Amino acid sequence: MKLIPLTKGEFAQIDDEDFNKTSCFKWYCSKRPHTNYAARVQYSTENGIRKKRTIYLHHFIKGASTPTDHIDNNGLNNQKCNLRDATQRQNMYNLSLSPKNKTGFKGVYFSNHRKKFCSTIRCGGKVRYICGEDTAQAAAIKYDEAATRFFGGFAKTNRMLGLLTV
């Protein structure tokens, strides 16, 4: 594994065999809501108009512009063993805990109407509600079961995030 220096004091991880083709470019750290990514700017001219395009390191390494998922949710880990092809929807299944979450568990909220903890999961364009748990942990377990069933290998569960220890 090699490290590519980025702006903001960050480094991107890449495989040794990708170092020569990536190190000749200047990469920067692109801060995003859920993770940071290594990126560079490429300029081109079409019909006399200068265009600016962002090239992400994980797309450059994979040689594709199709959505690519970072298995460990670390956008700076661009080793091939951490990258997999994914649809946009599959990429969304692998998100971590939202910073807006109030219960401390992914997919869990407290229903004031029911006075119980509930979990929601969005799959196939539909929102599914799993309600009626007395504790946030119990609702998180129900979320994990549903995520595993609906999302398979792309599921990012509360247990995987270290939020459930039971």
pLDDT digits (tens, 9 = 90+) for 58-111: 999 988 767 888 988 899 999 999 999 888 888 888 778 888 889 999 999 999
First to last CA, the chain: 34
3-state helix, strand, coil in the chain (%, to 5): 25, 35, 40
User: What is the rounded distance in angstroms from the CA atom of residue 74 to the CA atom of residue 34?
Assistant: 9
Sequence spans of domains, the chain = 2-85, 95-154
Domain 95-154 in CATH 3.30.420? The answer is no
pTM: 0.74
pLDDT band at 13 (very low <50, low <70, confident <90, very high): very high
Encoded tokens for 127? 């929102």
* Cβ pair 96, 108 in contact under 8 A: no
* Cβ pair 83, 62 in contact under 8 A: yes
Q: Is the pLDDT of residue 25 over 90?
A: yes
User: What is the rounded distance in angstroms from the CA atom of residue 85 to the CA atom of residue 90?
Assistant: 9
Name residue, tokens 């940071």: 36
The pLDDT assigned to 30 comes to: 95
Name residue, tokens 């069933």: 149
pLDDT band at 135 (very low <50, low <70, confident <90, very high): very high
Q: Is the pLDDT of residue 166 over 70?
A: no
